[in-house]
C-alpha cells in the first residue's frame, strides 16, 4: 500500500494506492486477491492500468468482480476496453475504468475479494496491464 496523501493549502488530503502484479496484454489472465483492513476513505476506484497502446482501442475484454465478506457482489465490470474511460496516467500509461461500476466506499472491518479476468482481443497486442486500487489523494 502506497501513501498518496497530499497537502492543499492547510488541508491534508489522505490517500493510498494498492498495485497488483502486471500481466501481458497478449495472453489471457485470471487472478483473485483478498483485501482486509482497508482505510475507510470514500470513493475508491478499481482501475485497469495499461502500458503499451498509444490511443484508445480494444485491447481485450475486462472482467472485474468485487465481493464483500459474505460473498455478496458489490461491483461488477464486464466491458471491452474500448468501452471504458481511458484516463491518462503517466507518460505512456492509461488508467481504464467504468464511471458507474468501478468505484466503492470501503467499510470498517470488511474483507474484500477482487476477481479479475482479462481476455485479449489479439495475440499481437503489445504491453502490460495491472489492477490497482486508488482511494483519496485527489482534489
- Specify the CATH number for the domain of residue 93: 2.60.120.790
**123: containing domain:** 2-136
Domains of the chain: total: 1
Give the pLDDT score at 139.
58
Split at pLDDT 50, 70, 90, the class of 138 is low
Express each pLDDT in 46-61 by its tens digit.
999 999 888 889 999 9
Provide the whole-model pTM.
0.89
Cα–Cα dist 27/137, whole Å: 33
> Would you say 112 and 68 are in contact if contact means Cβ atoms under 8 Å apart?
yes
Cα–Cα dist 134/139, whole Å: 13
Grid coordinates belonging to 44: 475508491
Split at pLDDT 50, 70, 90, the class of 23 is very high
Split at pLDDT 50, 70, 90, the class of 120 is very high
Q: What is the mean pLDDT of the chain?
A: 90
DSSP character at residue 102: S
Amino acid at each position: 500500500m502506497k501513501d498518496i496523501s497530499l497537502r492543499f493549502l492547510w488541508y491534508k488530503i489522505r490517500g493510498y494506492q494498492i498495485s497488483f502484479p502486471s500481466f501481458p496484454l497478449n495472453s489471457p489472465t485470471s487472478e483473485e486477491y483478498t483485501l482486509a483492513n482497508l482505510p475507510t476513505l470514500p470513493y475508491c476506484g478499481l482501475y485497469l492500468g495499461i502500458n503499451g497502446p498509444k490511443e484508445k482501442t480494444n485491447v481485450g475484454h475486462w472482467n472485474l468482480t468485487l465481493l464483500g465478506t459474505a460473498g455478496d457482489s458489490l461491483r461488477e465490470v464486464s466491458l471491452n476496453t474500448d468501452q471504458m474511460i481511458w484516463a491518462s496516467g503517466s507518460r505512456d500509461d492509461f488508467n481504464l475504468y467504468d464511471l458507474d461500476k468501478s468505484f466503492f466506499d470501503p467499510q470498517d472491518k470488511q474483507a474484500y475479494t477482487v476477481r479479475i479476468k482479462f481476455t485479449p482481443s489479439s495475440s499481437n497486442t503489445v504491453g502490460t496491464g495491472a489492477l490497482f486500487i486508488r482511494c483519496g489523494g485527489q482534489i
